[in-house]
């Protein structure tokens, strides 16, 4: 029997619906409209598509969405000045700088310039440090989405063996932290890892995020494993048609896995959904409205927002749960 597909599109749509409900609640009770600024430097086609998608979905859920497109020759200092202006703009709750940046710009300087309280991509060293310590933080969106997908098919992650293939700062490293905090025993691997197939065969969950098309074969998996494919690889098939494939040999893996995410339609939609979730989290937290987050992801139940005077401390831990991701 083939594995059951985990429908990331449907799950992401449910998250967006909850975000929309909570935006309306923020507006009606607190006169707050979350604001998201997306900064694109240059005209890279793929980056342009990503930015338009993020801006469009932000508008659809009711955010004040700003799309700032800058010329590729912009100086680093000028870009940093813009970031500082966005930091100081109280109507902006989230700042996202689309990567990669042109080679003459130090992307770490840019990411570190973003106010950690507005770092909805979760890339600022402050937030990564808190995540490493198991403290509340805005975490990277793709890892949050991966954990959410896993939790839709596994009720208790305690003691589960997980192999994460890929050690990027964007996915692999923060995902290992999130899964560890959820009680998993996590093995971090990469393309050069010795005996990688054997490692995967012992895992209850395999997450492929190495950027290598078709890396994980069906015989790498133990029967009943859960397979999460983060890879997005553009290929040309024998008919000359361009298509997207993941890091997992999907047909083979489906014969052995119990659950598997497709590419496209699996992890990708969850990344944007959690960008929206992080933005409303930042909007609530920045204004002193009680919000409880944790390094294992955001769980939200029917919110009870308090309309109290804003004593903004962007790094304080709040106390009440605002639910945007629960179904």
| CATH topology match: 31-120 vs 141-268 | yes
Of the candidates 232, 93, 87, 108, the one whose C-alpha atom is nearest the C-alpha of residue 169 is 108
Beta partners for residue 161, in sequence order: 185
Contact 175, 130 (CB under 8 A): no
Written out in words, the top-level CATH class of the domain with range 141-268 is alpha beta
Q: What is the DSSP letter of 43?
A: -
Annotated catalytic residue within 121, 204, 229, 247: 121
Q: What is the DSSP letter of 248?
A: B
Tokens 């839709």 -> residue = 152
Q: What is the DSSP letter of 101?
A: P
pLDDT score recorded for residue 287 = 82
CA 166 – CA 157 distance, rounded (Å): 20
Of the candidates 39, 183, 173, 175, the one whose C-alpha atom is nearest the C-alpha of residue 99 is 39
Tokens 């859960």 -> residue = 226
Helices (H), 234-266: 250-254
Beta partners for residue 95, in sequence order: 37
Per residue in 137-176, pLDDT tens?
899 999 999 999 999 999 899 999 999 999 999 999 999 9
Annotated catalytic residue within 57, 93, 98, 173: 98
CA 141 – CA 287 distance, rounded (Å): 22
Contact 293, 278 (CB under 8 A): no
For 39, the 3-state DSSP assignment is strand
Two tokens at 51?
A: 């930015």
Contact 281, 274 (CB under 8 A): no
Known catalytic residue: 121?
Answer: yes
Contact 122, 277 (CB under 8 A): no
Pairing relation of β-strands 242-245 and 233-236? antiparallel
Q: What is the pLDDT along the chain (327 residues), one digit of tens a residue?
A: 799 999 999 999 999 999 998 899 889 888 999 999 999 999 999 899 999 999 999 999 999 999 999 999 999 999 999 999 999 999 999 999 999 999 999 999 999 999 999 999 999 999 999 999 999 889 999 999 999 999 999 989 999 999 999 999 999 999 999 999 999 999 999 999 999 999 999 999 999 999 999 999 999 999 999 999 999 999 888 888 889 999 999 999 999 999 999 999 999 999 999 999 999 999 998 887 753 333 233 333 333 333 333 333 333 333 333 444 444
CA 102 – CA 80 distance, rounded (Å): 14
Domain residue spans of the chain: 31-120, 141-268
Two tokens at 288?
A: 């002193």
Contact 246, 277 (CB under 8 A): no
pLDDT score recorded for residue 290 = 52
Q: What is the DSSP letter of 27?
A: H
Q: Which residues contact 76 (CB under 8 A, 6 or more apart)?
A: 104, 105, 106, 109, 110
Pairing relation of β-strands 94-97 and 64-70? unpaired
CA 16 – CA 326 distance, rounded (Å): 10
Of the candidates 324, 6, 1, the one whose C-alpha atom is nearest the C-alpha of residue 153 is 6
pLDDT score recorded for residue 149 = 98
CA 22 – CA 115 distance, rounded (Å): 23
Residue 53, H or E segment: helix 45-60
Two tokens at 201?
A: 């065969």
Of the candidates 206, 205, 142, 199, the one whose C-alpha atom is nearest the C-alpha of residue 168 is 142
Q: Look at the domain 31-120 and name its fold.
A: Rossmann fold (3.40.50)
pLDDT score recorded for residue 233 = 94
Known catalytic residue: 98?
Answer: yes
pLDDT score recorded for residue 136 = 86
């Amino acid at each position: 029997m083939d594995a059951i597909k985990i429908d990331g599109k449907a799950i992401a749509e449910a998250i967006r619906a909850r975000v929309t409900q909570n935006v309306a609640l923020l507006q009606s009770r607190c006169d707050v409209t979350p604001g998201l600024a997306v900064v694109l430097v240059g005209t890279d086609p793929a980056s342009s598509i990503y930015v338009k998608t993020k801006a469009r979905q932000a508008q659809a859920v009711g955010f004040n969405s700003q799309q700032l497109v800058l010329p590729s020759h912009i100086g680093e200092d000028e870009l940093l000045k813009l970031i500082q202006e966005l930091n100081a703009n109280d109507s902006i709750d989230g700042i996202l700088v689309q990567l990669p940046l042109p080679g003459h710009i130090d992307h770490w300087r840019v990411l570190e310039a973003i106010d950690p309280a507005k770092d909805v991509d979760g890339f600022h060293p402050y937030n990564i440090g808190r995540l490493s310590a198991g403290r509340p933080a805005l975490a990277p969106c793709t890892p949050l989405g991966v954990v959410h997908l896993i939790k839709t098919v596994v009720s208790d992650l305690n003691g589960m063996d997980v192999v994460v293939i890929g050690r990027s700062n964007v996915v692999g490293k923060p995902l290992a932290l999130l899964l560890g905090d959820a009680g998993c025993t996590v093995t971090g691997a990469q393309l050069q890892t010795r005996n990688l197939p054997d490692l995967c065969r012992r895992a209850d969950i395999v997450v492929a995020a190495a950027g290598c098309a078709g890396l994980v074969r069906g015989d790498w998996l133990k029967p009943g494993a859960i397979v999460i494919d983060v890879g997005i690889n553009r290929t040309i098939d024998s008919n000359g048609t361009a298509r997207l494939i993941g890091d997992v040999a999907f047909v083979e893996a489906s014969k052995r896995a119990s659950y598997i995410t497709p590419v496209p339609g699996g992890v990708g939609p969850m990344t944007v959904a959690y960008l929206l979730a992080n933005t409303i989290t930042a909007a609530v937290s920045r204004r002193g409205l009680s919000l409880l987050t944790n390094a294992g992801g955001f769980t939200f139940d029917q919110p009870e927002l308090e309309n109290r005077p804003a004593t903004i401390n962007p790094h304080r831990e709040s106390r009440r749960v605002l639910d945007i991701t629960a179904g």
